[in-house]
Structure 1
Amino acid sequence: MKRQREPGDAVSYQTESVGVLVIGAGAAGARAAIESVRRGVDTSDLLVLGKRGHGDAHTTWARGGVNGALGTRDPEDSPAIHAADTLKEGHFLNDPAKVETVAWEMPGHLRELDDWGMAFSRTDDGEIDQRYFGAQSFRRTAFAGDHTGESLLDTLVARARELEVPYRENLTVTKLVADGDRVYGAVAVDLDDGSVHLIGASEVVLAAGGYAAIYDRHTSRDDENTGDGPALALDAGAAVTDTEFVQFHPTGMAVDESDPEWEPWRGRLVTEAVRGEGGRLYNAEGERFMERYSPDQMELDARDVVARAIAQEVREGRGTENDGVYLDISHRDADFVRERLPRMYERFQDLGVGLSEEPVEVAPTAHYGMGGVVVDDYGETDVSGLFAVGETMAGVHGANRLGGNSLAETLVFGAVAGERIAARDPAPGTVPSRLVASVVEPHVAGLAALADSDGSHTPGGVLADLQTLMWDHAGILRTGDSLRTGLDRLGEIRTASEDLGVGPLGSESFELALDVGFAVTAAETVLRGALERTESRGAHYRTDHRDTDPDWRRHVHYRAADVGLVRSTASVGEPSDTVQAAVDADHELDYHQLE
């Protein structure tokens, strides 16, 4: 049992106030802060919080590219076709208005990044180069080798520093201070010294990532993407939607888990750029199996299609020793591979494998949550002053994300939210005394009770159990019975999460205990949404309901209430006439141009 804290164990907290508080320092948070300042918010009235060091965010692991209809390689491409591809990939569960905002704004954002010095890969005549990505009708994905996210974030951080955007690192937000109608700030813990901070703010931007790391095999960095953003928003009174749609990237690393050199790489992303540059998939019998599943688009079909094909090959006994398949780009010239895929080449070279000489083993891995917080066309929730951008928000991707659209979404909606916030000329926020008494002080007391507790379970063990549960019961292939079993098991994990052995405030185990709480909340929304949605659509595949049901072309919303999560549904909008015409034109990738 937990040790009971004595009255003298109470934790004090520091208070401060800003006009705009940005939670999360990846691309979405950085872009929101930059736009706010560019539009007139004084830097003294803005603060960006990051859980890690400045410039150290999950954005850096987005490798393959960022979409925008520049038409560098294919002049016939257009924002309308980009939007149409996004809607088709999302199985028309996307919010068309948000999709169109991203598609029309992205060419300008790519040129802006170029002006700011981003190290894009170039064509022979010096233009921003573009490559194929899965399910794209044209070469639309701009890139910087295979380190696009890293280069993009470096560019944004440099621009933020030029503008003197204030940034504080190694702080994790534990609660938003809100009354259900408006947000007033946040409570955060400094992971360096364990101090607790109450930060008042008129406008709060949640850019805290997604929830893919609630799965056992995933592409996220350690202790990130555990559902912080959606869970914080739910607790503040906002709604989340469509979290049952989890993208399993076809090509995570499949490794021998008994080998200590390889085990840390389990599930890590092998960028889609490998396939975009011509990489081919083979099963253990040497068959290029995508010919059976998608003879026209082959390895560059939608991610959900390729992931399910790999899972099928493994299930039917044609998988590799490590339950994967082979990805092979050795038919390409070695210099080409080193130039176009430098990070992948170096990674495998360090592990003793020549990417340009031999195949590598890959298997599906949890990569991205299409669902998230419900926001309007400006990224604002129905809790006034609370915005959600990047992977924390929902709406752009629908039932399956088009590769290259994640970074695009961060840039566009970061800027959209920043512009909206600046137009309000936000003054420093104040937390009302009634909320200090009813929300802040009980929460800080709860943090004190969690710190140094000596419960029966470790945070890492409970999180690992949760990740296994989600992989086993809400993975690539789902059934109603398995999802119900998962919900029952989640109840046991929630009980265990209330009896943790935790170190002091700010310690690694304390942070992990917070992550467990967020992850349990996110997992419940995924399991409940997947059980509710009795159809298969995009990344959500029910083997007991294999068909797509037109009546289920609607969103599943959840809100927190005294009785737990309360469900509702909402209809989906329709695209503009211009985009509908592009949908009807039925543009499609001609994969065989790569052959």
Structure 2
Amino acid sequence: MDSGPDAGFERHEYDVVVIGAGGAGLRAAIAAHDAGARVAIVCKSLLGKAHTVMAEGGIAASMGNVYPDDNWKVHFRDTMRGGKMLNNWRMAQLHAQEAPERVLELEEWGALFDRTPEGLISQRDFGGHRYARLAHVGDRTGLEMIRTLQQRAVALGIDVFMEFTVTEILKDSAGPGGRVSGAFGYWRETGRFVVFDAPSVVLATGGIGKSYQVTSNSWEYTGDGHALAMKAGASLINMEFVQFHPTGMVWPPSVKGILVTESVRGDGGVLKNSEGERFMFDYIPEFFKAETADTIEEAEGWYADKKNNRRPPELLPRDEVARAINSEIKAGRGSPHGGVFLDIASRRDAEFIRRRLPSMYHQFKELADVDITAEPMEVGPTCHYVMGGVEVDPDTEESILTGLYAAGEVAGGMHGSNRLGGNSLSDLLVFGRRAGHNAAYAAHRLRDARPQVSADDVRAAAAAALAPFEIEHGGENPYTIQKDLQDVMQRLVGIIRKADELRESLEEIGKLKERAKRLSVEGHRQYNPGWHLAIDLTNMLVVSECIAKAALEREESRGGHTRDDFPGPDDAWGRVNLVLTLAGGDFASPVHLEHQPLPVMPDQLRELFDA
């Protein structure tokens, strides 16, 4: 077995290495290439298989194709209010201003959007958005976006390393704090190690959902980018805010958690409990009362004439809907399999449903033997998205570690405490482009003085990756630890949280971290999924610790963070971000937490809320 840390390494030199091939990663790579950089894309799965393909509803952008009154200021205001004002205002501003141009860019590159009768890009309604502003392709928008960006990247000749795992961000220690010098990882098929020499690295690795039992996320979402950034010396922000999408499948058990797109509600679907009541009218928060229908008659009027009536409560932001569904289930008014009913069959004809929601129609027909054109779906909350991530500069997307950039779900700040549906895809495009450009510009400035990769660091990274092979007897099974971690996070750090349960979760995670020091895998490096999970597991443990620690610290309920013992928001906490770092620079080190004041919004933007 070729497993020694001094075994020969494959080596490549680039200006920018992008880790992740979803929407943010592909857009970053294209931007870096357009800026003149030599670029590599590194992805854990196959090109075109990124989790972005599962984004169904649309791309939020204030193009005004359906409502001419829509503009970036309204989109900015909706985003800030959806995030309960904890968003980085500058990121929300840039996102709202630049999203329309990014959508038109996709169309220019070949994306085929649904159209209005006038031939413009069609836009649909979504929760938390004042106007219909999601550019869409049926309910397969993410797939079309990935297809378009992938085709563009391949046409440009950008190098792609598929089925590859990055285990370390390498640094040149010269100067205070050091700076990025490259990345280290291995081919998942052969186990052979690779060193990338690169002065700029862009993280676009997605989320953390596989730390939970019930999630809409794919297998890649093990918090790799979050953990890589922390270990390299970067900081995380807002990790307590985990979004539980209101509508995931709940039956049969084999598909529990698979996403049911918000488009169902955007196209007229309503939520009902076991007594047949549209219960969302009982859960409208004061913050949204002025814009939300509080009677069935008003809601029906909205569907008939959207310009003159308030929105139905099913289109409240996701955190509000998820909490309402959770309350109905706990009150004993849930569906037979522990969810609630989502009904579009009684409100739209079969042809409309099959045309607008083709993926949902086939998903329920094939996986649950449910015809959504004739009967309601059973749905319930599923771990879907983490608002927290790497702390970045809002204009450049650079972390506090020079040369390390982040975009998409792995970056924090943009969504505050809760993300609005559809903002994820435009987030990928806007900040993927910005990250790629700035990473390329930074690399260009270093063309005559590139940071150096240390041979000692490479050997240490190889030894760390191979550590699970060193324990031959009495070691811990990575699958067992992952199962135990998922149980802890689902039970104790889920949709509703309490101080005693969060303290218990931190104790349990600490025990799991100790057990993980004795992770053991059998066999060779080739085709070894147990080894892959052992490496992913260290990432999942440190990220889960960050979530639990921040959730215990924040003594209020806001957005995706709900404390049963502190049920309301607190103005004082609304001015504070929680920042997390690794005190010792390795996964064995304790997570350090500190408070950071929220950036102050300029008066000209604050006036939008006063108005």
Counterpart amino acid of residue 100 in structure 1 = Q
Distance 2:449 2:79 in 1: 38
Match of 1:246 in 2: 242
CA distance in 1, matches of 2:383, 2:252: 18
1:430, distance to aligned residue in structure 2 (A) = 5.9
Corresponding residue for 2:269?
A: 279
Name the counterpart of 2:507.
Answer: 488
Deviation of 1:575 (Å): 3.3
Counterpart of 2:275 in structure 1: which amino acid?
E
Instruction: Quote the Cα distance in structure 1 between the aligned partners of 2:63 and 2:187.
Output: 42
With over 3 angstroms needed to count, the CA separation of the structure-2 counterparts of 1:576 and 1:342, relative to structure 1, is: farther
1:139-150 correspondence to structure 2 within 5 Å? 139-150=132-143
Identity %: 40
1:301 is matched with which residue: 305, 312, 316? 316
1:96 to 70, 89, 97: 89
How many equivalent residue pairs?
569
Indicate the SS of the match to 1:550: coil
Q: After TM superposition, give the deviation of residue 423 of structure 1 in Å.
A: 2.6
1:558: which partner in 2?
A: 580
8 Å CA contact 1:19–1:429 kept in 2: the answer is: no
Indicate the residue corresponding to 2:593 in structure 1: 567
Counterpart residue number, 2:532: 511
Q: Is the 8 A contact 1:212 1:246 kept in 2?
A: no
Partner SS for 2:424: helix
Moved more, 421-430 or 323-332: 421-430
5+ residue gaps, structure 1, are 258-262, 586-595
| CA contact 2:235–2:581 (8 Å) conserved in 1 | yes
Distance 2:243 2:483 in 1: 20
Q: Over residues 349-398 of structure 1, what are the superposed CA-to-partner deviations in whole Å (9 max), with x where a residue is unaligned?
A: 22321111101110000000000000002100111111011111011000
Counterpart position of 1:270: 260
**What's the counterpart of residue 377 of structure 2?**
360
1:128 matched to 2:121? The reply is yes
Q: Which amino acid aligns with 1:472?
A: R
Instruction: Report the secondary structure of 2:33's partner residue.
Output: helix
Aligned partner of 1:341 among 347, 352, 357: 357
Deviation at 1:484, TM superposition (A): 0.2
- 8 A contact 1:117–1:155 mirrored in 2: yes
Deviation at 1:212, TM superposition (A): 2.3
Q: Report the secondary structure of 1:250's partner residue.
A: strand
Q: Is the 8 A contact 2:15 2:440 kept in 1?
A: no
Give the counterpart letter for 2:439 in structure 1: I
- Secondary structure at the counterpart of residue 572 of structure 2: helix
CA contact (8 A) 1:81 1:583 kept: no
Give 1:243 shift: 0.5
Partner SS for 2:239: coil
Residue 458 of structure 1: CA displacement?
2.2
What displacement does 1:452 show?
6.8
| Contact kept in structure 1, 2:234 and 2:581, CA below 8 Å | yes
Within a 5 Å distance, the mapping from 1:61-460 to structure 2 comes to 61-178=54-171, 179=173, 180-222=177-219, 224-257=220-253, 263=254, 265-294=255-284, 295-296=293-294, 297-330=312-345, 331-351=347-367, 352-376=369-393, 377-424=395-442, 425=444, 427=447, 432=452, 435-437=454-456, 439-451=457-469, 453-454=471-472, 455-460=474-479
Say if 2:16 and 2:440, in contact at 8 Å, map to a contact too.
Answer: no
1:14 aligns with 2:33: no
AA of the residue aligned to 2:525: L
Is 1:520 the equivalent of 2:541?
A: yes
Preserved CA contact (<8 Å) 2:465 2:535: no
1:225-278 deviation line (CA, Å, top 9, x unaligned): 111011000000000011100000000101142xxxxx1x11010000001001
SS in 1 for 2:578: strand
Select between 497-506 and 85-94 the one with higher mean Cα deviation: 497-506
2:201 maps to a residue whose letter is V
**1:10–1:448 contact (8 Å) kept in structure 2:** no
Alpha-carbon distance between aligned partners in 2 of 1:145 and 1:266, rounded to the nearest angstrom: 23
Q: Retained in 2: the 8 A contact 1:131–1:140?
A: yes
Q: Distance in 1 between matches of 2:467 and 2:487?
A: 28
One-letter identity of the residue aligned with 2:400: D
Deviations 1:181-230 (A, max 9, x none): 311111111011110011110111011111122111100012x2111011
Q: Bigger CA drift: 98-107 or 177-186?
A: 177-186
Amino acid across the alignment from 2:20: G
Distance 1:31 1:332 in 2: 36
- Indicate if the aligned counterparts of 2:468 and 2:518 stay in contact, CA closer than 8 A: no
Three-state SS of the structure 2 residue aligned to 1:322 is coil
What is the alpha-carbon distance in structure 2 between the residues aligned to residue 181 and residue 511 of structure 1? 29
Shift of 1:405: 0.6
Structure 2 unaligned residues grouped into runs of 5+: 285-292, 295-311
Match of 1:589 in 2: none
Where 2:105 maps in the other structure, the secondary structure is helix
**Cα RMSD, aligned residues only:** 1.8
Shift of 1:7: 9.6
Shift of 1:427: 3.6
Cα offset, 1:337, TM superposition: 0.5
Matches of 1:126 and 1:486, distance apart in 2: 53
Q: Please give the alpha-carbon distance, in whole angstroms, between the structure 1 residues aligned to 2:428 and 2:448.
A: 26
CA distance in 1, matches of 2:439, 2:6: 36
Counterpart AA for 2:315? L
Deviations 1:320-375 (A, max 9, x none): 12110011100201111011111111111223211111011100000000000000
> Does structure 2 retain, via aligned residues, the 8 Å contact 1:18–1:429?
no
C-alpha displacement at 1:168, in angstroms?
Answer: 1.3
Contact 1:559 1:566 (8 Å CA) reproduced: yes
User: C-alpha separation between the residues in 2 aligned to 1:372 and 1:76?
Assistant: 33
* CA distance, structure 1, for counterparts of residue 49 and residue 199 of structure 2: 27
Moved more, 382-391 or 491-500: 491-500
TM-score by length of 1: 0.93
How far apart are residue 460 of structure 1 and its match? 1.9
The answer as to whether partners of 1:11 and 1:445 remain within 8 angstroms in 2 is no
Offset, 1:15: 2.3
How far the C-alpha of 1:428 sits from its partner, in A, is 9.2
CA distance in 2, matches of 1:491, 1:121: 50
Checking the alignment, whether the CA contact within 8 Å between 1:55 and 1:157 is kept in structure 2 is: yes
Contact 2:13 2:196 in 1 (8 A): yes
Q: Which amino acid aligns with 2:84?
A: H
Q: Give 1:493's aligned amino acid.
A: L
Secondary structure, counterpart of 1:199 in structure 2 = strand
Query: Relative to structure 2, which stretch is displaced further, 152-161 or 8-17?
Result: 8-17
Give 2:127's aligned amino acid: G
1:50, 1:171 within 8 Å by CA — same for their partners in 2? yes
CA distance in 1, matches of 2:360, 2:336: 22
Question: Is contact 2:59–2:136 with CA below 8 Å preserved after alignment?
Answer: yes
